[in-house]
Structure 1
Amino acid sequence: MQFARWKGAEVIATAGPESFEFLNDVGVDQVIDYHRERFEQLVHDVDVVLDPLGGEVQARSWSTLKRGGMLINLVGELNESAARKAGVHGVEFGMEYDTEDLAEIADIVARGAVKPHIVKVLPLDQARWALDLNQRNQSHGKIVLEV
């Protein structure tokens, strides 16, 4: 979200009330309470959707994109036929990177343009627990493992 804001994008997020303060702190422009409202009824003609859930959320997201927009799928299967039908692009997020990308990200962070939100620093032997916290969405931010 911070990288999107840094690049000048308007950022819209869906969340429960327990996450509103965090999202406002990291610069989200509009937060939609997914317990009370359906984002696809409020959001239209966006350039990019970052889909961290897949499934039903992905199915509901196609209509929010403008023609030629892009859905970036983080988990599960990407429904390519739905993307074609909506006139948009769907891409799978991969963990590929190169040293130039990492150097640029490090520079951006070092300049303070984006600030990682570190919620926990744990010893390496607690990596399994850290992963479990992350997968259960019980951390709003980064968990750092000390080596």
Structure 2
Amino acid sequence: MKAMIIEKYGKVSLKLADMPVPDIGKKDVLVEIVAASINPVDFKIRDGKVRMLLKYKMPLILGNDFSGIVKQVGKDVTKFKVGDQIYGRAMKDRIGSFAEYISIDENAIAIKPKNLSFEEAASIPLVGLTSYQALHDILKMSPGQKVLIQAGAGGVGNFAIQLAKTMGVYVATTASKAGYELVKSLGADQIIDYKSESFEEVLKDYDGVFDTIGGETLEKAFNMLKPGGQVVSVSGLPNARFGKEYGSGFLKTNLFRLLTLKISKLEKQHNATYTFLFMKPSGEQLKIITELIELEKIRPVIDRVFPFEEAQKALEYSEAGRAKGKVILKIK
């Protein structure tokens, strides 16, 4: 099969290569991929920035989420049959959606929404599951509460805004003037122009913050929380709560403790809770997301679709950070 690979970590270009079609296990399905989406985690994996948590063998096929058609099922598969149109997010140790085929556990996928094209469906799994697990599983937002969703015009942000509104939550978000109309159309209640306003000074007494930026932006988020508030981040550093669930020798080192010391101090200072989120694939949660999409409560936001052969251009375009919504690879 044709696949886009890297042969080493670093700022390297994707290489089109012939790779073997992956084998399937008893609970796996083989999917012919129609479309895949590009996500910031793809750059981080390529650059080797997640090696303390995830280790891969080279050559490595990049890509984390996709849509496609089931071509083969393992002997113990009960949820899907050949011909089903599905979408999903690969397990962290079985990535590889920038390819013509992928083997994936049946519990990581769901039937794609009937009202979406394959390209639209491919834009959903990673951002949808990340948003659901942040807002529902960790922050446990409830009607009437207030949340700040950083970078509302980005892939995760625009989904999270819509999901939060289905939960009855008051949503503030940060965006540039170029992204203002988009986040407003998605339901944002308050929009902070991050180029001219300081969100931590404008917003006060919030129940939660969904951080997608990290660094100083993450640290400033604690200033706007009410006592007992929470921050969940996909761009900060892992912490002990992450370690209990995923486990990592790095989390026990003195270097880790030193790197996370500032966040730990901020938690105590503001009587707040910080959690790092590394999203887990879930077919069951995708079913919930599918229902919301088919009820037209959530819609995909796609910036551009690139042909498979232009995967490197697509990666560069996404990495530049100017996309309003998701960047998609059309495989088939």
Under a length normalisation based on structure 1, what TM-score does the superposition of the two structures give?
0.90
CA distance in 2, matches of 1:120, 1:50: 25
Q: Residue in 1 aligned with 2:278?
A: 94
Q: Residue in 2 aligned with 1:31?
A: 191
Structure 2 CA distance for partners of 1:92 and 1:128, relative to 1, 3 Å? farther
Q: Quote the offset at 1:141 in angstroms.
A: 0.7
CA distance in 1, matches of 2:227, 2:310: 45
Specify the code of the residue in structure 1 equivalent to 2:319: Q
Q: Is 1:51 aligned with 2:235?
A: no
Q: Is 1:127 aligned with 2:287?
A: no
Residue 228 (structure 2) aligned to one of 63, 68, 81: 68
1:68-116 Cα offsets, whole Å, 9 max, x none, are 2111111132623312321111111212132101111122112211011
Q: Residue in 2 aligned with 1:142?
A: 326
More helix by share: 1
- Hey, which bits of structure 1, 4+ residues long, moved more than 4 A? none
Q: Secondary structure at the match of 1:11?
A: strand
Specify the code of the residue in structure 1 equivalent to 2:281: Y
**Stretch of structure 1 that moved more, 28-37 or 73-82:** 73-82
Residue 118 (structure 1) aligned to one of 299, 302, 306: 302
Q: Secondary structure at the match of 1:71?
A: strand
Q: Quote the offset at 1:132 in angstroms.
A: 2.9
Confirm or deny: 8 A CA contact 2:213 2:235 kept in the other structure: yes
Specify the code of the residue in structure 1 equivalent to 2:288: E
1:105-128 Cα offsets, whole Å, 9 max, x none, are 122112211011122222233333
Q: Quote the offset at 1:137 in angstroms.
A: 1.6
Q: Residue in 2 aligned with 1:12?
A: 172
Q: Secondary structure at the match of 2:183?
A: helix
Specify the code of the residue in structure 2 equivalent to 1:74: V
CA distance in 2, matches of 1:24, 1:48: 20
Q: Which has the larger radius of gyration?
A: 2
CA distance in 2, matches of 1:123, 1:45: 46
CA distance in 1, matches of 2:316, 2:212: 16
Specify the code of the residue in structure 1 equivalent to 2:178: E
Confirm or deny: 8 A CA contact 2:236 2:276 kept in the other structure: no
1:121-143 Cα offsets, whole Å, 9 max, x none, are 22233333333333322111122
Matched pairs, number:
147
Q: Secondary structure at the match of 1:13?
A: strand
Structure 2 CA distance for partners of 1:125 and 1:92, relative to 1, 3 Å? farther
Identity of aligned residues (%): 29
Specify the code of the residue in structure 2 equivalent to 1:138: R
1:17-71 Cα offsets, whole Å, 9 max, x none, are 1111111111111111122221111101111111111111112110111112111
CA distance in 1, matches of 2:280, 2:179: 29
CA distance in 1, matches of 2:317, 2:165: 26
Confirm or deny: 8 A CA contact 2:301 2:325 kept in the other structure: yes
Under a length normalisation based on structure 2, what TM-score does the superposition of the two structures give?
0.42
Specify the code of the residue in structure 1 equivalent to 2:176: G
Structure 2 CA distance for partners of 1:91 and 1:132, relative to 1, 3 Å? farther
Structure 1: gaps spanning 5 or more residues? none
